[in-house]
A and B are shown apart, each in its own frame.
Chain A
Amino acid sequence: MWSYERRLQYPVNIKQTNPKLAMVIMSQFGGPDGELAASMRYLSQRYAMPYREVAGVLTDIGTEELAHMEIVSAIIHQLTKNLTPEEIAASGFDKYYVDHTLGLWPQAAGGVPFTSTFFQSKGDPITDLTEDMAAEQKARTTYDNILRLVHDHDVCDPIRYLREREIVHFQRFGESLRIVQDNLDSKNFYAINPAFLADKAR
């Protein structure tokens, strides 16, 4: 199970609202390389992971991604708090506002709703971990793209922190892939799927 701790993993204290920026950062909440997709990806993949260390990595990174989703959500919430109708209309936030007012709903910056097709859970440890490493790099690129548009230190600071976590997670998934390969036939890693019983018995 999970239990809630009443704190952010990294603090968010934004003093100046900016709905235009909130619209862009929203992609890291509900977009294709966002934190919600990351958490669901890793937590879903755990069940078909036969190696205990790697199931641990998936559990602990999947849990940390939930904390990152809360940080991104706090950024969006604080960037859009108490906006006036005039500010909403002038900033281009009106297209989001008409469906969600100032509530949070997971979508990409372009308005595409969150969907589980943003991630895969393939039931094959090499396939899943290769996806996970790519996912961390895609999220890192997205944060780089966001940072080029942000000039407010209060927003930059937590975004930089999240970007750094992508790099650390990439490293841990790289080690996880190595652990999986060390358990397989070094002449042919793809000879069997270690998560599939009929394959293992062959």
Chain B
Amino acid sequence: MGSEKERMMLLRKISEVSFAMDEARLFLDTHPCCEEALEYYKNMCAVREKLVKEYTACYGPLSSYDCFCDNCWKWVEYPWPWEGACK
């Protein structure tokens, strides 16, 4: 488990690679056979998978499908994304 700063840095990396995929996905919808875009999407997908796995192990799940708890449901305990810096 890292510091809050480290958590935010990892989350930022996940958001960056996810955005790359969000943008490429829209492009692929109207250019479904663009080889360059298909390759880009595949590469970003592999990077994202690795980062999300690391985040989930250190700071808890981003998706409730990845939330596994033994005694107490943890999904509601992690910070919500809209909370931001203004406490």
Distance, CA A172 to CA B15, complexed state (A): 22
Given A8-B15, A9-B15, CB of A3 within 8 Å of CB of B84: no
Given A6-B62, A10-B15, CB of A61 within 8 Å of CB of B82: no
B71 located at the interface, meaning its Cβ lies under 8 Å from any Cβ of chain A in the complex: no
List the A side residues contacting B63 at CB < 8 Å: 3-6
B80 located at the interface, meaning its Cβ lies under 8 Å from any Cβ of chain A in the complex: yes
CB distance B26 to A57 under 8 Å?
yes
CB distance A11 to B12 under 8 Å?
yes
Q: Tell me the nearest residue of chain B to A6, going by C-beta.
A: B62
List the B side residues contacting A61 at CB < 8 Å: 26
**Closest-CB distance, B41 to chain A (whole angstroms):** 12
Tell which of A72-80, A117-125, A139-147, A184-192 binds the partner: A72-80
CB distance B86 to A14 under 8 Å?
yes
Q: Tell me the nearest residue of chain B to A64, going by C-beta.
A: B22
Distance, CA A168 to CA B22, complexed state (A): 11
List the A side residues contacting B15 at CB < 8 Å: 7-11
Give the A-B pair count, Cβ closer than 8 A. Answer: 83
Size category of the binding interface on chain B: 20 to 34
CB distance A74 to B82 under 8 Å?
yes
Q: Which of A10, A16, A78, A172 is within 8 Å of B29, CB to CB?
A: A172
A49-88 CB mask vs B (1 if < 8 Å, else 0) is 0000100110011001000001001100110010000000
A17 located at the interface, meaning its Cβ lies under 8 Å from any Cβ of chain B in the complex: yes
**Closest-CB distance, A156 to chain B (whole angstroms):** 15
CB distance A53 to B32 under 8 Å?
yes
**Closest-CB distance, B75 to chain A (whole angstroms):** 9
B2 located at the interface, meaning its Cβ lies under 8 Å from any Cβ of chain A in the complex: no
List the B side residues contacting A154 at CB < 8 Å: 85
Given A6-B63, A11-B12, CB of A175 within 8 Å of CB of B30: yes
Q: Which 3 residue pairs spanning A and B have beta carbons closest together?
A: A13-B85, A74-B82, A56-B29
Residues in B lying within 8 Å of A, measured CB to CB = 11-12, 14-15, 18-19, 22-23, 25-27, 29-32, 61-65, 78, 80-82, 84-86
- Write 28 A-B pairs (CB below 8 A) sorted by A numbering: A3-B63, A5-B62, A6-B61, A6-B63, A6-B81, A7-B11, A7-B14, A7-B18, A9-B15, A11-B11, A12-B82, A12-B84, A13-B86, A14-B85, A53-B30, A60-B22, A64-B22, A70-B81, A74-B81, A74-B82, A78-B84, A78-B85, A78-B86, A168-B23, A169-B26, A172-B30, A175-B31, A176-B30
